[in-house]
Amino acid sequence: MNRIFGTSASKKPKPSLQDAIASTDARIASIEVKVKKLDGELARYKDQMSKLRNGPGKNAIQQRALRTLKQKRMYESQLAQLAQQTFNMESAALTTENMRNTMATVDALQASNKEIKKQYGKINIDKIEDMHDEMEDMLERANEIQESLGRSYAVPDELDEDDLEAELDALQFEEEEEGTSYLADINKVPDFIDEPPVELSETPTHEAMKATG
């Protein structure tokens, strides 16, 4: 059926906004070339009229200059319209691009929000609180164990300083008595000797010198 009625099976894609902007810019460039050409003609007519006197020849050139000026004004009007169209299309393109960026941002935020809810849904606040309570109990038990291991044995809880000083004085007195008795025992004669030893003088006697001599 498509071949009979002359329609093609594949349709050309519609021009995008950027394509329309590019086409309009090309038309503007073409019209600007024409306007520039008309400016040259007007300058030539002006030069010719300045050299002629009033008369039929000058009037004919003046009529040509008027037609050229009207044509130039028409092109300038088209340039203004095309420039406005380009501005509108560029504004629309910018708005479209901003909307795309906004939608991409919204989609990313929605996906992130969904993932956050999914992850937080796996967290049980009650379990976390119970875990904290268990940790506190374990730390308290550990401190109690440390205090129990560091406890001193066979030491009274309260000691009287006066009793301690008296006990220290008694120990010092016993040490002094033991030292005195030790020195006294050095000069004591043993029990198995009948007579005490005779002390000899340091200077030898006359009889001793004869005996040795």
Give the three-state DSSP class for 160.
coil
Does 22 fall in a domain? yes
The count of structural domains within the chain is 1
Does 120 fall in a domain? no
pLDDT value of position 188:
57
Does 196 fall in a domain? no
Does 199 fall in a domain? no
Distance CA 42, CA 69 (A): 7
State mean pLDDT over 57-66: 87
pLDDT digits (tens, 9 = 90+) for 115-127: 888 887 777 788 8
CB atoms within 10 A of CB 76: 14
Does 39 fall in a domain? yes
Does 75 fall in a domain? yes
SS3 annotation, 1-42: CHHHHCCCCCCCCCCCHHHHHHHHHHHHHHHHHHHHHHHHHH
Does 28 fall in a domain? yes
Does 143 fall in a domain? no
Task: Provide the residue type at 184 as one letter.
Answer: A
Per-residue CA distances from 211 to 15, 130, 198, 202, 208 (Å): 157, 111, 20, 17, 5
pLDDT value of position 144:
85
pLDDT digits (tens, 9 = 90+) for 143-189: 888 888 876 655 555 556 777 777 777 777 766 665 555 445 555 55
Distance CA 20, CA 84 (A): 13
In the chain, % of residues over pLDDT 90: 30
pLDDT value of position 126:
82
Number of H helices, E strands in the chain: 6, 0
Distance CA 45, CA 83 (A): 29
Domain span at 60: 17-107
pLDDT value of position 204:
52
